Amino acid sequence: MHGRRFSPHRCSHHRVCSAAVASAMTKTSLIRKIQHDLRSRSRSAQDITQEYLAKLQAAEPKVQSFISIASKEACLAARDLDNKIALEGPDSLSPLAGVPFGIKDTLCTAGLQTTAAARVLEGYTPSYDATPVAQLKAAGGIILGKCNCDAFAMGSTNESSDYKATRNPWDLERVPGGSSGGSAAAVAAGQCVASLGSDTGGSIRQPAHFCGVVGIKPTYGRISRYGLIAYGSSLDCVGPLAGCVEDAALVLQAIAGRDMLDATSSHMPVPDFTQGLQSIDSFASRPLQGKRIGVISETVGQGVSSGVNEAFSRAARHLESLGAEVHEVSLPTSDAGLPAYYVIAMSEASSNLSRYDGIRYGVRREAANIRETYNSSRGEGLNAEVKRRILMGTYALSAGYYDAYYKRAQQVRTLVQQEMYRALSDFDALVSPAAPTTAYRLGAVKDDPLEMYKGDLMTINVNLAGLPAITVPAGFEESSEGKRLPVGLQIIGKAFGEADIIKTAHVFEQTADFAQGTAPGF
């Protein structure tokens, strides 16, 4: 299964020095800082909420991460939290008490408009919270608003939102990625401490890569999908985005677990995802000693930008310097996963989106009869990208084509899953870049669907296999204008092995000072 030891020179001729653990700059947890401030009463929940609402409002004209902002609701929740601390003392604090969050607009929020960034759902206000949102609230999180995304999570740039195009905080002339681009950009711009996104084929990991933040796609079933507006039901996963690995782990801890409202959620016990996330002072000289890591050979070299190749090469060498054994591993079905993914995802989308007919909720365009009402409501309420995916999915499921497309795609999915499982029986984790390029310029691929779909090449097989993966900042590529654009390292783990890949990502983050940075101006 595995081949030769990985050589960074296959990716680039960039010289990489060995890691010096003692000299690295640590990435600290904002969630731990907020908890400390609330416990010591140096800041109140209302102070923290007002601070982040001010940051959100100041950055919003430039970044445009949010579709709706819940200022009043956030302030009331913060006030209630302060009252609870006053009555019950700081020991009553929940794990995420006082932490400001952004929520992707595909997750239902009680009393707060939820549109999935689609005009057809404009004005829709759910009467209930999605389970992950309810869990955040139960853990003390403060919801600041709903983050922009591609309409119905269908896109890789955030430009197919029916409301606005979110900008990348690292370069406002570039996209933040998609579909969870608003959630990633909000964290990168400091508008919130962490956010929730959803990932069908890379929609958390690719925006994390573009925006220089941490994103976790959990094992399918690890987190409830109840209240998530569905795109591809057998692929969709909810997950966190944050500024550091520890914060992402803390959020994952709060929202993972079995949910009786979601039959696909897993009974697997939830470990402590933060256990073993030591400070850099506690690290051994080679903290990844004994780890076997496989570099997916199909994700490096040709077809990947030179800047991404260089950053990934340096990241792989850094993992070696930390004690890991790094080998190349070939997954021949990698390329077949992309078309299989789009057949499956679009087929499921054509079924899931049939409910948006203008009758039960959302925008309704009255016409002479019920058929014309359906046609006009869907015709005006669904954008070109959404219609394209519905039509392609309906075609793949139609009589005479089902076996040729959908059934064949499911067979390829099985092969992809089996191949990844075999590779992970030899390795503790697999690694790759999170995307073949850094952030696109605005408009560069919007009108070229095939080019946009190719951007998911590194991530979609993880969803087909149902495995967990994390994207962590791994370095930068310099644009032609001299701006630094983030590059992300994707670490893929065994089913329900989130704790292991989180530890590896944490060690990498805490020692890779070359990968750290903050979006300029934020």
* pLDDT per residue of the chain (522 residues) written in tens, 0 to 9: 556 676 654 444 333 344 445 445 568 999 999 999 999 999 999 999 999 999 999 999 999 999 999 999 999 999 999 999 999 998 889 999 999 999 999 999 999 999 999 999 999 999 999 999 999 999 999 999 999 999 999 999 999 999 999 999 999 999 999 999 999 999 999 999 999 999 999 999 999 999 999 999 999 999 999 999 999 999 999 999 999 999 999 999 999 999 999 999 999 999 999 998 977 777 878 999 999 999 999 999 888 999 999 999 999 999 999 999 999 999 999 899 999 999 999 999 999 998 888 787 777 888 788 788 877 778 787 989 999 999 999 999 998 888 999 999 999 999 999 999 999 999 999 999 999 999 999 999 887 877 777 778 899 999 999 999 999 999 999 998 899 999 999 999 999 999 999 999 999 999 999 999 999 989
Instruction: Indicate the residue type of 212.
Output: G
Structure tokens at 131: 């389970």
Neighbours of 199 (CB within 10 A): 28
CA distance 200 to 414: 17
Tell me the residue range of the domain where 494 lies: 2-78+94-278+288-338+405-515
Residue 7 pLDDT: 64
Is the residue at 26 inside a domain?
A: yes
CA distance 478 to 85: 47
Length of the chain: 522
Contact 445, 452 (CB under 8 A): yes
Is the residue at 224 inside a domain?
A: yes
Where residue 31 sits, what CATH number does that domain have?
3.90.1300.10
Which residue, among 270, 218, 268, has the nearest Cα to 240 in the 3D structure?
218
**Overall number of domains in the chain:** 1
Backbone Cα Rg of the chain? 22
Structure tokens at 180: 């969870």
Is the residue at 382 inside a domain?
A: no
Burial class of 54 by CB neighbour count within 10 A (0 to 12, 13 to 18, 19+): exposed
Is the residue at 521 inside a domain?
A: no
Instruction: Indicate the residue type of 68.
Output: S
Which residue, among 408, 418, 405, has the nearest Cα to 333 in the 3D structure?
418
Is the residue at 126 inside a domain?
A: yes
Is the residue at 386 inside a domain?
A: no
Neighbours of 394 (CB within 10 A): 16
Is the residue at 509 inside a domain?
A: yes
CA distance 483 to 63: 17
Q: Annotated catalytic sites, by residue?
A: 104, 179, 203
Which residue, among 510, 396, 426, 498, has the nearest Cα to 21 in the 3D structure?
510
Is the residue at 136 inside a domain?
A: yes
Contact 429, 493 (CB under 8 A): yes
